[in-house]
Amino acid sequence: MPQHQKRQVTVARRDQGARKKMTLITVCCVLVTLGILAVGAYFIWCLVDSKFFFCSQSLKFIPVTMVCDGKADCAGGKDELTCVSSKPANATFPVRLVGESMVLQVFRVEAGWSTVCADDWGLSDTRSACQHLGYTLNPKSDRLDITSLHHSLGESFSAVRARTDGLLHTALISRQTCISGSVIALSCSDCGDAVGQDRVVGGSDTTIEEWPWQASLQKDKQHVCGGSLVSLTWLITAAHCFSRDGKDLNLWQVVLGRTHLMSTGGISVAAIMINKDYNSFTHDYDIAMLKLTRPVTTGDTLRPVCLPPHSLPLKAGDSLVVTGWGFQQEEGNISSILQSATVSLIDRKVCSRPSIYGPSLTPRMLCAGNMEGKVDACQGDSGGPLVFLSKSWQLVGVVSWGVGCARPGNPGVYCSVEQQLNWIYSIMEKYS
């Protein structure tokens, strides 16, 4: 090949290589630019999303401070649809369980409370009664001899009069006594299994298998409060957990079945309902219920705690257990590992002394801890469980308030679950 042709080929190859190199540089620059724009757009979106709420129907943005403020600012009131709500209780919830044996009683306006006889009682009646109480999992009933009852349970009786798909208390008639000589005791859920009863005392590390109903309530994936699983879809916590800027349901998730505090695997929340009588100044009626968007699957690390019966025979000095990921000392930090502590129920007369809490302790509250301090719930434990071991673990209190943490003479104060059963069952029946 002549020399000048060789030079032309070489120049052509160089030009082709230069063009490829330029094309590659251009593509890289475009990709980098697009990447920068995508990252910038993401951060702008995060900023806008944290400051504004988009009204899809009216195609406008409103400040997030206007969401869940009780006023519809979007078309169709979209900004108020997924909010924490306040719900009142029924005057008297017509079904209840009484005492450690869980004796079934029903309320009728014309007869008041009566104990239900085992006469003609069937499985469908058991299911109906448990459904009234908000439960559908493994309903069971037992028969108790009338002679074993406390005298207050033997003053008035009722029995099934007809099979009906209506309300249980309307399908009963009054009886002077039970023909069968026995009454009904109910177990409506697999809850509060008492396994591994040797507990760590004094705020020590524990595992979720010991307390499988313990929940972490998280706002923007940050732990805010504890909670207690009481059915496959319902949890109980404290009303004050939602009293500030956490009224939008979309901000919340519930993490269950974990010993170590983490934000992965959370379940979104379908509803948050605060007792309508809650008073943020006095802490009275400090209770709320959360409904999950889906039912959970129970196992060794996830199981509901039992709700207490009416007239559970708790007395001063009884041992209770409080659990949570709260501060391990006042002005401390959230614990990464679940903690448990054994505390004692303190007599109401002691806690109501002027030198302790005086009239601030209402009938809807329990006092528990140690008058010398040392053991107590603290920040981050709010809304978490205070449980008592009877035939099973029962939720008797919800961590509510106190003065400091574990200070001498200032025990912890808990919302009494027994005093709120009317409200709890009303919510579970109406919104399940």
Active site residues: 240, 286, 382
| Bridge partners, 98 (sequence order) | 103, 310
Q: Which residue has the tokens 């001899």?
A: 145
Which distant-in-sequence residues (6+ apart) come within 8 Å of 70 by Cβ?
Answer: 80
Strands 222-229 and 214-219 turn out to be antiparallel
What is the sign, positive or negative, of the torsion defined by CA atoms of 70, 76, 81, 86?
positive
Q: Do residues 238 and 287 lie in contact, with contact meaning Cβ atoms separated by under 8 Å?
A: yes
CA 26 to centroid of chain Cα atoms: 56
> Rg of the chain over CA atoms, in angstroms?
29
For residue 295, which amino acid is it? P
Calculate the alpha carbon distances from 407 to 66, 289, 307, 329, 367 in Å: 40, 30, 30, 10, 14
- Virtual torsion, Cα 406, 320, 88, 139, nearest 10 deg: 160
Q: Do residues 161 and 171 lie in contact, with contact meaning Cβ atoms separated by under 8 Å?
A: yes
